Structure 1
Amino acid sequence: MKRHPALIPVSREHHDSLILARLLQKDAPPYKGLPVEIDGKAAYALEFYKNKLIAHFIAEEKILPLVKGLNSEIDVLITEILEEHDRFHISFNSINTQDNLADHLDKLGKDLELHVRKEERQLFPLIQENCSEQVLNTIEMILSD
């Protein structure tokens, strides 16, 4: 399904999040220009979280109330996504206190990949199918600020 223009900004940001997600996993291939050592990956992940991911979560959390109540499937996904955002805040903020950093980053990467896929493959199509054009226009205005 082609992405509605209202959702394109957050959808595009997911690309970088997926690269981070793969980078953090133990079986990750090397990515040109990105760290290959665990400590470098941890530092990159924290920087990405602080500079991009927090703002991304905030943007998503501004639009989710607009689609809450459209149907029960969307409502369940919203609850899951908000809980996952909370867990990501904890996971990223605890990177520097991990005894087994490689395992922590691997789990964080896998969880982040699943989270992005859930939004792209489940939530966004449901939003597009169930929202009026007026709601989608409101989403677009919020995300363009």
Structure 2
Amino acid sequence: MELFDAKGCLSEEGLQALVGGQLDETQRLEAAEHLAYCDRCMDRYTALLTDDVLEQPPRSARGAVMGTIWIRRLMQNTWGRAAVATVAAVLALTLWRAGTLEQILHTGQQLNTWLPQTTQQTEPELLGKPIEDKKQLTEKLSDALDALLHHSADTTEK
């Protein structure tokens, strides 16, 4: 009896002998070693031992599984974007309320006095109209942020 076929896998006769307990000690060790690394032979051996046919589901589960995966990815993207937007809003409000925004604007004006005159020359038509009055900018920012805060507070109370 040949335990292995020409490809090096267990022959049908060898598998039947293994299941039936007809192999000697050396042949059983060789078969066990081969089954340890050959998935194809292990599948064949397992099929001989179980003799059970796998149950087929009454309908395909592919649609339900793919739908669940799609919803999970959508929620991860949505919650991730919402978290980033929330962090950005909290950071902007914190900077505004702490007065950091005004300090940044003040530092920017101080930098303009330190730069050489050649770098200060810009083309206003390309950069837009510069804001002359710092108070005007602060008031506009304050009004916009207050409107946002009051609008969100009004919608949460309803």
**TM-score after normalising by structure 1:** 0.24
**TM-score after normalising by structure 2:** 0.22
The structure that is helix-richer by fraction is 1
Which entry has the higher C-alpha Rg, 1 or 2? 2
